[in-house]
Amino acid sequence: LQPYQRNKTNIIMPNTDSILRIALQKSGRLSEDSFRLFKECGIKFESGTGKLKTSSSNFPAEFLFLRDDDIAGYVEDGVADIGIVGENVFIESNRKAEITYRLGFSKCRLSIAVPRGVDYKNIEDFQGKSIATSYPRLLGNYLKEKGVKADIHEISGSVEIAPSIGLAEGVCDIVSSGSTLLSNGLKEVETIFRSEAVLISNKKLSKAKHDTLNKLLFRIKAVQTAQNYKYILLNAPNDKLQEIINMIPGMKSPTIVPLAMEGWSSIHSVLEENQFWENIEAIRSAGAEGILVIPIEKMIY
Ligand code: PRT
Ligand code: ZN
């Protein structure tokens, strides 16, 4: 089954069986990175027009724009085939879908916090106390695992004000920079879950949709791998080539191009960003000059 086929008037159309319905957050902390990811994968679609649904013009995909809380349910029910959602929201929702790929953006943690003045020792301090949260399932599992019986006070927003209005002794909420806790006079005392954006998929995707998903994952991996690597060009005296090549071995091996100047060559290679910073001094002291580092858009091994 081909993802595209010609219709009666010989126009190339996506094969409807293979069209992947993708649920994305309409607007919020996941949206920008999700939209950017598809753009970097070369998948075009209109966003931000207020529409709830749109199709891609160059990939067999339809996009649904939803509240993040609804994405896992839509994917479980098969209204959407895949979705991008915070792992915290996905696990809390207890919906049956598969985490197919960890996307690495929208990282945050779910933490317990108490008023700054409290002399906190450990989680047992919460025995018989109450904690306000929008994540009763994740918190409940954590307390159970630690053998602590505390009252979980479920509230849907502005969790951080709970201690100051006497609603609970502590809170359990999403933390990123920590400034919200700080400005509400709270301190983080336990991290119970680390989250990032995840791509979830329906458990019973058809073969045709699965093939489209694999094409999408191939692109995502190519884009994300590229982001960790840089293309490096440098000039080196010929008698130092081997020493420098050993430091920047590249994907298979570096390209060596002779310079117009006698006795010198240019080395082209690919290097992990971290490795670049670790090796740069050694590369320079080996005699490399004119070092250029260039971003890579896509990378396929
Ligand atoms: O409207 P919709 O229902 O779709 O969105 P939402 O308002 O429910 O969610 P949104 O867009 O705020 O967050 C979507 C996802 O982003 C979350 O489920 C997390 O997976 C992830 N994420 C990453 C965050 C944060 N960072 C974050 N800092 N979600 C929320 N926060 C909030 C947190 O609740 C707290 O109020 O930011 C505050 C803490 O931030 P700091 O930087 O002050 O610590
Ligand atoms: Zn939400």
Question: 125: which DSSP letter?
Answer: G
Report pLDDT for 50.
Answer: 83
Taking residue 10's Cβ as centre, other Cβ atoms within 10 Å add up to: 6
The token duo for 107 is: 């990282």
Which pLDDT score is estimated for 7?
A: 67
What DSSP state is assigned to residue 161?
A: G
Helix and strand tally (H, E) in the chain?
A: 8, 17
Distance 216 CA to ligand 1 centre (A): 26
Supply the pLDDT for residue 16: 82
pLDDT digits (tens, 9 = 90+) for 109-141: 999 999 999 999 999 999 999 999 999 999 999
177 lines ligand 1 (CB under 6 A): yes
Q: Which residues of the chain have pLDDT under 50?
A: none
The pLDDT of residue 2 is: 61
Q: State residue 4's pLDDT score.
A: 66
Centroid of ligand 2 to alpha carbon of 115 (angstroms) = 26
| pLDDT at position 298 | 94
Atom of ligand 1 nearest to the CA of 197: 20
- Residue owning the nearest CA to atom 1 of ligand 1: 67
In this prediction, residue 13 carries a pLDDT of 64
Closest residue by Cα to atom 11, ligand 1, is: 28
Measure 157 CA to ligand 1 centroid, in angstroms: 11
In the prediction, which pLDDT does 274 show? Answer: 86
Helix-strand-coil split of the chain, %, nearest 5: 35, 30, 35
Q: For residue range 35-60, list pLDDT tens digits in order.
A: 999 999 999 998 877 889 999 999 99
